[in-house]
Amino acid sequence: MNSRFSGILAAVFSPMDENGKVNTGVVPAIVDSLVADGVSGIYVCGSTGEGPLLAREERMEVAEAYTKACKDKMPVIVQVGHDSIAEAKVLAEHAAGLGADAVAAVPPTYFKCPSVENLVDCMAEISEAAGDAPFYYYHVPALTDGVFSMVDFLRLGEGKIRNLEGIKYSALTVFECQECLNYAEGKYNILFGCDEMLLSGLVVGVPGAVGSTFNFAAPLYNKIMDAYKAGDLERARELQLLSVKMVNTLFKYRGQPAFKAMMGILGVDCGPNRLPLKSLDSDEVAALKKDLEDIGFFDWGRTR
Amino acid sequence: MNSRFSGILAAVFSPMDENGKVNTGVVPAIVDSLVADGVSGIYVCGSTGEGPLLAREERMEVAEAYTKACKDKMPVIVQVGHDSIAEAKVLAEHAAGLGADAVAAVPPTYFKCPSVENLVDCMAEISEAAGDAPFYYYHVPALTDGVFSMVDFLRLGEGKIRNLEGIKYSALTVFECQECLNYAEGKYNILFGCDEMLLSGLVVGVPGAVGSTFNFAAPLYNKIMDAYKAGDLERARELQLLSVKMVNTLFKYRGQPAFKAMMGILGVDCGPNRLPLKSLDSDEVAALKKDLEDIGFFDWGRTR
Amino acid sequence: MNSRFSGILAAVFSPMDENGKVNTGVVPAIVDSLVADGVSGIYVCGSTGEGPLLAREERMEVAEAYTKACKDKMPVIVQVGHDSIAEAKVLAEHAAGLGADAVAAVPPTYFKCPSVENLVDCMAEISEAAGDAPFYYYHVPALTDGVFSMVDFLRLGEGKIRNLEGIKYSALTVFECQECLNYAEGKYNILFGCDEMLLSGLVVGVPGAVGSTFNFAAPLYNKIMDAYKAGDLERARELQLLSVKMVNTLFKYRGQPAFKAMMGILGVDCGPNRLPLKSLDSDEVAALKKDLEDIGFFDWGRTR
Amino acid sequence: MNSRFSGILAAVFSPMDENGKVNTGVVPAIVDSLVADGVSGIYVCGSTGEGPLLAREERMEVAEAYTKACKDKMPVIVQVGHDSIAEAKVLAEHAAGLGADAVAAVPPTYFKCPSVENLVDCMAEISEAAGDAPFYYYHVPALTDGVFSMVDFLRLGEGKIRNLEGIKYSALTVFECQECLNYAEGKYNILFGCDEMLLSGLVVGVPGAVGSTFNFAAPLYNKIMDAYKAGDLERARELQLLSVKMVNTLFKYRGQPAFKAMMGILGVDCGPNRLPLKSLDSDEVAALKKDLEDIGFFDWGRTR
C-alpha cells in the first residue's frame, strides 16, 4: 500500500490579523506546535485553510510561509483548486516552485464537472502546471457535489494526470475508499478526511488522514492510531468516541469557524474568518470553551 | 450495549411467481437456507422486501408467512412504514398480532417530516398500534431524505415512542451511529445497514447488522464477524474487500433487482420485481452470473 | 388545443372531524360553495386532499362523496397515485367505477422511477385499471423529485398509457409547459398547477388550472382569467399580485395546513391534518386570519 | 417601476482564440452586431461569459474591451462574483474604474452563504468596492444553490448594500420576481433571466431581460416584446414558442458551449470554452446547425 504520507496530517489554517489580513507571522509557532503534537505533515489552503476565500497573492503567501516553516521538519501539501483552471495552474506552478512536497486540487464548483472524464481533464491541466510535484485529488463531495466514482477517477486519471499520487478522501463512503486503497495493487496514497470516523478508515487500511481537528487534537488521534496498531480496539473505540463528542461540540458552533477559534483558545490567535464563513463572537468563544470543558476536552484532547 | 438482536440479520425478499403475484410457498425454504447460513434473524417488508411496493394484504401475507416459518428458529422484525400513518398502523397492529419479535418503520416520503419532532410524532402513532412489540426506526436517508440527527431522535423519542428499542441504521455516518450506540449508556439496539462497510461499523461497536446481501452471502459476513472477534483485522479487512467487490458487481445491475435475481441464481426463485424497480432480464442475469464468477464469488461468498 | 377541462379547478380537501376521522358530511356544502364561486371542476385526493396520507378505504370514501356531490354539477378528477402500483390500481378501478370524469396519478416516491420510460410503464399499469376514464399524469417535482421531460413523457406515453389525456402540470418550467401544450398539435389537456403564477401560464396558453387556493379564492382567479381574456393585462397583473400576497401569507403558516385552516375561517370546518402535515393551532389560525385581514384578503379574495 | 435598464440585454461571451487565450479583438464587431440587432445593453463576465472560469487579469481584459467598445452605444454591467470576496472586490473596483454602468455579483459557491443575512453581508463588501456604480445581485440558484427569498434580500440589503439597484433574476419563480418588482413601490430594477420564459416575465411586469440567447436571437425577442406591447398576445406566444424550440435545440448540445458555438456559425468566431465546460467539436457544430435549420431558426431567429 502506498504510504508516501501516513499518520496524522493537519489541514492548517490561514492565520489573519484582527483586520482580516493574512498574518503569516504566527506560522512558525503553529508549525512547531504541530510537530510537538506528533503531526506528520500539513495540508495548506484547503477548506480548513479557507483557500478558496483568499485572493491569489494571499494563497501564495500562506503557501510560502508554511513551506518555509516546515522545511526539514515535515512534508507540505498545497491545495490549489479554483473555479478557474487558469488560476489553479498559476497556484500549482507557484507551489511546485516553492518546493512543496505535493499539490492537491478540488474541482471547480461554479460550473461543475459533468462527468468523471471531464474531472480528469480538469485535474490533468492543473497537474501539468505542478511540474514534478506529486498530485492529489481532493475529494470532498459535501462541498463540491462531485459524486463521481473515485475508482473510475483513478483508472481514467492513471495515464492522463501527471504524477497522480493519490486522493485526499473526505467522504463517508468507506467501502469506496477501501477499493481505492486496493486499486492497482495499492499504488495510490489514499488519505482519509473524516476525523470523527478515523477508526473506520484505519480498519479498511488507510495509512494516514488529513483533518481539521488535528490542528488542536493531534495527540488524541495519535493515541487512536497507537491503540489501533497495538490491537487494542476497545481503547481505540473509546478514544474515537471522545473525538465524536469533540466534533459534535465544534459543529454546534458552525464547524470551521469553531475550529479556527480553537486556535485562539489554545493560545495561537489565527484571527477571524472570511465571508461567507462567519467568525465566532466572544460570547460564542466563551460558550464553546465552556462546552469543551464540560466534556473534559482539555483533559483528554491535548495530552501528548 | 443493548444487543437484543445481534449478528447477521437478512432483509428478506418478498417472493413472487412469474406473474408478479406474491408467492409465499418458497418462504420456508428461504428461511431454512438462511438458518443454515448462520443468519440470526430477519427483517421483512423493508426496502429489499419491496414492502412499500406491495398492497396492504400482500404485506400482511408476506409478514405472516415469514413469522410462521421462523417460529422457534430466529426472530422476525416486520417493517410497516407507509406514506399513510393510518395504513402503517394497520400493518403494525397486524404484525404485533402475528407475534413478530419487533416492528420497524420508515418515515413517510410523499410529504416529508419537516422536523425531528414531527418524525417522532409519526413514529409514536405507529408504535402505539404495535402493542407490546419492540419498535425500531428504519433510518435510510438515501431513500427517504430523512437527515435528522438520530441522537436527537433517541432523546426526543425516549418518552414518546412506545417500546422504542433501537434503530436500523442504514446510513454512512458511522460517527453518529457510534454516538447512538453510546447514548443513554447503550440503552438502544443499533443495527447497522451498510453491508459493504460492516467492518467499519463493528469497530465502533455495532452488535449486529441488517442487510440485503446477507440473503445470499451470510457465510462471508459471518467470517468477517468471526475474524473481527478473534482480533484478526487483516483477515477481516480482506474479507470485507470481497464484500465490496460483490456489492459493486451487484450495483452494476441496478442493486435491488440484482439482489433478487441472485436468489434465482442460487436456486430459490423469488420472481420478478415490482415497478418502479425493474427485474433483470435473462441476458442480464447471465451477465451478472458471469461477473460474479469472474471475481470468484461462488468460491468465497457462500462457503460456510 | 385540448380543453377537455378548462377554467379554475379546485384541488379539494379531505374533510375530517375533530378526531381526525374522514368526515364526508360536509362535502355537499363544499361542492355547492365551489359551484357558486365559479369553479369549473375538482381534483380529489391530490396533495391538497392529503390523498397519500389516507388509508385505502378513506381515499375511496372521499372519492365517492365528491363524485356523488358533483354529479350534474361539475367534473371530477380522482388522484390515485401510490408507492404501490398495486394499490394505485385498486384505487383507479374504484374511481372509474364511481364514474369519475378522469383519473390522475403521481409517481411512486419511495423507490423513484429511474427513467422516463419507467415512469411511463408505471402510469401504463395504473391507467389500465382505470377502464375508459381519461388519464392524467400528476407532475409535481417539488414533492416527487420526478424531473423528467414532460415532452418525452407525452411522446413515450402516447401508445402505452391507455386514454392518456393530459398532465396536471405543477412545476415552474413554463417553457416546457408551453411545449406540452403544443405537442402533437395541441392534442393533450395541460392543466397548470402554480396558482401564484397563473397569469404566466395563461400567457403561454394553458386552458385551465388546478390549485389549492381555488378552494377559497376562486373568485379572484376567475377575475384574473376574465381580465386576461378581455386583454386587460394591467388589471390581470394587479390581481395576480394579490394572489402572490395571499399565497405568501399562507406559506408563512406551512402551506397546506394553512389552506385547510382557511376552510374553517370561511365557515366550512375541514378539520385537522394528518401527520406528517401539522394542523395550525388556534393561535396560528388567529394570526393567519389577522395577516389576511391586513392585506385585505377578505375584501378582494372572495368577492364574486 | 424602476427601468434603469430595459429591453433586451445580451450576456456576452468572452471570446478566445484557437488556443483558448482571451481574444478581445473581435469585441468591437460583436458589439456592433448586437447594436444592429436592437440589443439595449450587455452583461459581461457572467455565466455565459465564463467569468468564473477566467483568471483575474483575463476578466479585467474582457471587461475593459467591452466597456470601451460600448462607449456611447449602450450600457455595460460587469459581473464580478467570486468564491473569494477579496478577489471580487478587486474586480468590482476595476469595473467601476472603467466606467461600467453597473456592477453585479453572484454569491460564493465553494462555501455557500448559510443565510440571507450572510449573503447581504457578502454583497455589501463587494458593493463597497464598486464606488458609485449601481449594484445588482445575480440570482441564479440553478448554479449557486442560493435559494433565499429575494424579497428578504431586498429588504435586508436596502440599508447595507451600497447603491443596490436591482437583481438579475435568473430563476423560474415568477411569483417572487413579481413581488420584487413591486417591492418598495417598484424601487428596484429587476431583470429577468429566463429567455425561454420571457413572455411569462413580461406579463408580471419585468422591464427587461438579460440572457444568453440574445447574443444571436435578439431580433426574435425584440419581436416578442413588440407584440406584447402591442397587445398581440397570440403572436407573442407563437414567437415565444419559437424561442422554446431554439433553446431546446441548443440544450441538446450542452447549453453554454452550444451558445458559444452559435457565434461561429453566425460568423463571429468566439473560440473554445474553458473547462469544465466542453466546446462542441466540429461534428457537433454541424449537427447543431442542421437541427437549427430543421426548425427554421435561420428564417425566424435573426430577421430584424
Question: pLDDT for A164-208, tens place per residue?
Answer: 999 999 999 999 999 999 999 999 999 999 999 999 999 999 999
* pLDDT tens-digit map of D10-60: 999 999 999 999 999 999 999 999 999 999 999 999 999 999 999 999 999
Please tell me which residue in C43, C66, C136, C138 is annotated as part of the active site: C138
How many contiguous H segments (helices) and E segments (strands) does chain D have?
A: 13, 8
pLDDT score recorded for residue C147: 84
And the C-alpha cell for B291? 461477473
Helix (H, G, I), strand (E, B) or coil at D174: helix
Q: Does C110 touch chain D (CB under 8 A)?
A: no
Bridge partners of residue A11, in order along the sequence: A43
**Residue C201 forms contact with D (CB below 8 Å):** yes
pLDDT band for position D294 (50/70/90)?
very high
Kindly report the CATH number that applies to the domain delimited by C7-217. 3.20.20.70
- Residue range D148-169: average pLDDT? 97
Alpha-carbon distance values, A192 to A140, A195, A204, B42, C44 (Å) = 11, 8, 11, 34, 52
User: B276 preceded by cis ω (within 30°)?
Assistant: yes
Which of C83, C85, C119 should we substitute to test contact with B (largest number of B Cβ atoms within 10 Å)? C83
Q: Is any Cβ of chain A less than 8 angstroms from the Cβ of B86?
A: no
> Buried b / exposed e across A27-39, counting CB within 10 Å, b at 16+?
beebbebbbebbb
Q: Given A54, A85, A110, which is nearest D143 (Cβ)?
A: A110
Would you mind telling me the total number of residues written for chain C in this entry? Answer: 304
Positive or negative CA dihedral for C96, C99, C102, C104?
A: negative
Q: Output the pLDDT for position A253.
A: 96
Is D113 close to A276, i.e. CB distance below 8 A?
Answer: yes
Give the pLDDT score at C54.
Answer: 98
Residue of C nearest to B141 (CA): C110
**Above 0.90 for ipTM, yes or no?**
yes
A and C make contact (3+ CB pairs below 8 Å): no
Minimum distance, in Å, between the CA of residue B275 and any CA atom of chain A: 26
Q: Fold for domain B7-231?
A: TIM Barrel (3.20.20)
pLDDT of residue B1: 78
Is B203 an interface residue toward C (CB < 8 Å)?
A: no
Question: What residues in D contact A107, CB-CB < 8 Å?
Answer: 276
Residues of chain A found within 8 Å of residue B199, distances taken between Cβ atoms = 203-204
Count of pairs with CB atoms under 8 A, one residue in A, one in B: 71
Q: What is the mean pLDDT of residues D130-146?
A: 94
What pLDDT shows up at residue C74? Answer: 98
Residue type, A291: D
Q: Which residue, chain included where needed, has cell 420584487?
A: D180
- At D97 the pLDDT is 98
CA separation, residue B199 to residues A149, B166, B193, B214, B237 (Å): 21, 20, 12, 14, 7
- What residues of D are labeled active site? 138, 168
What is the SS3 string spanning D269-284? CCCCCCCCCCCCCHHH
- φ/ψ of D170, rounded to 5, equals -100, 65
The answer to whether A79 touches D21, Cβ cutoff 8 Å, is: no
Residue in C47, C111, C278 nearest the CB of B276? C111
For testing the chain C interface, which of B45, B83, B279 should be mutated: the one with the most C CBs within 10 Å? B83
| D77-95: pLDDT as tens digits | 999 999 999 999 999 999 9
* D147/A194 Cα distance (integer angstroms): 28
Kindly list the residues from chain A whose CB atom is less than 8 angstroms away from the CB atom of residue D84.
52-55, 274
**CATH T-level assignment (fold) for domain D7-232:** TIM Barrel (3.20.20)
Chain D residues with CB inside 8 Å of A21's CB? none
Mean pLDDT, all residues of chain D: 97
Give catalytic status of residue C138 as yes or no.
yes
Å between D36 CA and nearest CA of chain A: 31
Physical contact, C and D (3 or more Cβ pairs within 8 A) = yes
Is D1 a residue whose pLDDT tops 90?
A: no
Chain A CB within 8 Å of residue B240 CB: yes
Neighbours of D57 (CB within 10 A): 11
Q: So what's the pLDDT on residue D224?
A: 98
Contact C204/D at CB under 8 A: yes
Q: Which one of D172, D231, D237 has the shortest CB-CB distance to C203? A: D237
pLDDT (tens digit, 9 = 90+) per residue, D253-279? 999 999 999 999 999 999 999 999 999
Question: Average of pLDDT values for A102-124?
Answer: 97
Type of residue numbered D143: L
The whole-angstrom distance between A285's CA and the closest CA on chain B is 24
CB contact under 8 A, A82 and D83: yes
How would residue B145 be classed by pLDDT, with cut points 50, 70 and 90? confident
- Write the pLDDT tens digit of every residue in D99-120: 999 999 999 999 999 999 999 9
D and B touch per CB criterion (3+ pairs under 8 A): no
User: How confident is the model over B266-294, as a mean pLDDT?
Assistant: 97
φ, ψ (nearest 5 deg) of residue A249: -60, -45
Cβ-based neighbours of B159, under 8 Å, separated by 6 or more? none
Among the listed residues A140, A194, A187, the one whose alpha carbon sits nearest the alpha carbon of residue A165: A187
Separation of alpha carbons B199 and A200, rounded Å? 8
3-state secondary structure of B276: coil
On the question of pLDDT at C198 being above 90, the answer is yes
D122:A84 CB<8 A? no
**Average pLDDT across chain B, whole number:** 97
Instruction: Determine whether the interchain pair A244/B201 forms a contact, defined as Cβ–Cβ distance below 8 Å.
Output: no
Distance from the first to the final alpha carbon of chain D = 28
CA–CA separation, A38 vs A154, rounded Å?
Answer: 31
Smallest Cβ–Cβ distance between D111 and the set A86, A110, A277 belongs to A277
pLDDT, residue A147, reads: 84
Active site residues of A: 138, 168
**B143/C276 Cβ within 8 A:** no
Nearest-10 Cα torsion for D221, D222, D224, D229 = 150
Distance from C-alpha of A219 to C-alpha of A231, rounded to nearest angstrom:
18
Using alpha carbons only, how large is chain B's radius of gyration in Å? 18
How far does B272 lie from chain C, in Å, by closest CA? 14
Average pLDDT over residues C136-165: 95
Share of residues in chain D with pLDDT > 70 (%):
100
- Contact yes or no for B90 and C55 at CB 8 A: yes
Q: Cα separation of B126 and B104, whole Å?
A: 9
The percent of residues above 90 in pLDDT, for chain A, comes to 97
Confidence check: pLDDT of D193 > 90: yes
Alpha helices in B42-128 (DSSP H): 56-70, 85-98, 116-128
C window 111-140, beta carbon within 8 A of B: 111-114, 118-119, 121-122, 125
pLDDT at res. A292: 97
D67 annotated as a binding-site residue: no
User: pLDDT by residue (tens digit) across B3-39?
Assistant: 999 999 999 999 999 999 999 999 999 999 999 999 9
User: Residues of D105-144 as b/e, b for ≥16 C-beta within 10 angstroms?
Assistant: bbbbbbbebeebbbbbbbbbbbbbbbeebbbbbbbbeebb
Catalytic residue among B138, B169, B228, B253: B138
Q: Is the pLDDT of residue C145 over 90?
A: no
Query: How far is CA B2 from each of CA B181, B186, B188, B205, rounded to the nearest angstrom?
Result: 8, 6, 5, 11
Task: Kindly report, residue by residue over A210-256, the tens digit of the pLDDT.
Answer: 999 999 999 999 999 999 999 999 999 999 999 999 999 999 999 99
Closest Cα of chain A to B301: distance in Å? 17
Taking CA–CA distances from D201, the nearest residue in chain C reads C200
Q: What are the cell numbers at C40?
A: 369549473
CA–CA distances in Å: residue C77 to residues C63, C104, C134: 9, 7, 9
Over range A53-76, report the average pLDDT.
98
Judge whether residue B291 has pLDDT over 90.
Answer: yes
- Taking CA atoms, what residue in B is nearest to A240? B204
Examine the pLDDT at B147 and tell me if it is beyond 90: no
Confidence of residue B83 (pLDDT cuts 50, 70, 90): very high
Q: Is A149 on the interface with B (CB under 8 A)?
A: no
* Region of residue B267 (left: phi > 0; alpha: psi -120 to 50; beta: else): left
A 10 A CB-CB count for D240 gives: 29
Q: Does D197 contact C174 at a Cβ distance shorter than 8 Å?
A: yes
Residue C155: is it exposed, middle or buried by C-beta count within 10 angstroms (0-12/13-18/19+)? Answer: middle
| Closest chain B CA to residue A231 | B231
- When scoring D22, D62, D83 by the number of chain A Cβ atoms within 10 A, the one with the most, hence best to mutate, is D83
Contact in structure between A239 and A223 (CB atoms under 8 Å): yes
**Number of Cβ within a 10 Å radius of residue B298:** 13
Question: Is B108 in CB contact (< 8 Å) with chain C?
Answer: yes
Rounded percentage of chain A residues whose pLDDT exceeds 70 = 100
* Chain D residues within 8 A of A256 when measuring between CB atoms: 111
Nearest by CB to residue D203, choosing from C176, C237, C244, is C237
Detail the residues of A annotated as belonging to a binding site for pyruvate. Answer: 48, 210
Q: Considering Cα of A143, then A145, then A146, then A149, what sign does the dihedral take?
A: positive
Contact between residue A81 and residue A88 where contact means Cβ atoms under 8 Å apart? yes
Domain boundaries, chain A: 7-231
Lowest mean pLDDT among B34-38, B57-61, C145-149, C165-169: C145-149
| Residue of B168, B223, B245, B260 with catalytic role | B168
Average pLDDT value for chain A: 97
Cβ separation of A244 and B194 shorter than 8 Å?
no
Distance of alpha carbon C34 from alpha carbon C215, whole angstroms: 7
- What pLDDT is attached to residue A293? 97
| pLDDT tens-digit readout, A258-304 | 999 999 999 999 999 999 999 999 999 999 999 999 999 999 999 88
